[in-house]
Amino acid sequence: RAPHAREMLDLGGGPGTFARAFARRGLHATLLDRPEVIELVAERYDLRSIPELSLQSGDFLDDSPAGEFDIILLANITHIYDPATNTRLIGSLVPQLRPGGVLAILDFVRGLSEFAPLFAITMLLNTEQGGTYALEEYTRWLEEAGLGEVRCTSIDLDRQLVTAVRGS
């Protein structure tokens, strides 16, 4: 969906699994996570030795990422938060997304993931506000943020990739 992408942001990407994968494919990847996470994973996975990878410390709910990106990835993020927080988060990222850029959400989509109902119970028990969400909810959040061309692709039996594009 973003064949000419040069810059990607892995938001809350923990160990940088996705950021490293994008960097290996020639994109410049930025990993944004809490300071204690960045410090831990930077050392453990030797992330500072990867020239195509930048590290940013911050709270993505409160701190806007520095830079503009062709791809912004939220992997395993939306299930932590309630719909209002997800709406606010997605809306806050659009200014950092270049025209034609793709916002991608990798998570358990209720109604498409066999694991989503059980995982929703886990989130109910272990978080203050988390849950799993239907494709219609993701579509509404993305469209309210001004994104279009919403698509959903099943990655495996459990996880789906929901993508949307920022207009030109």
d(CA 167, CA 103): 12
φ/ψ of 132, rounded to 5, equals -110, 155
Q: Output the pTM of the full model.
A: 0.90
DSSP β-ladder status, 53-57 and 97-107: unpaired
Count the neighbouring beta carbons within 10 Å of the beta carbon of residue 146.
14
30: helix, strand or coil = strand
Q: Which domains, and CATH codes, for the chain? A: 7-166 (3.40.50.150)
* pLDDT for the residue 62: 86
* pLDDT for the residue 117: 57
Q: What is the pLDDT of residues 21-41, one digit of tens each?
A: 999 999 999 999 999 999 999
Q: What is the pLDDT of residues 69-125, one digit of tens each?
A: 999 999 999 988 999 999 999 999 999 999 999 999 999 897 776 655 566 666 665
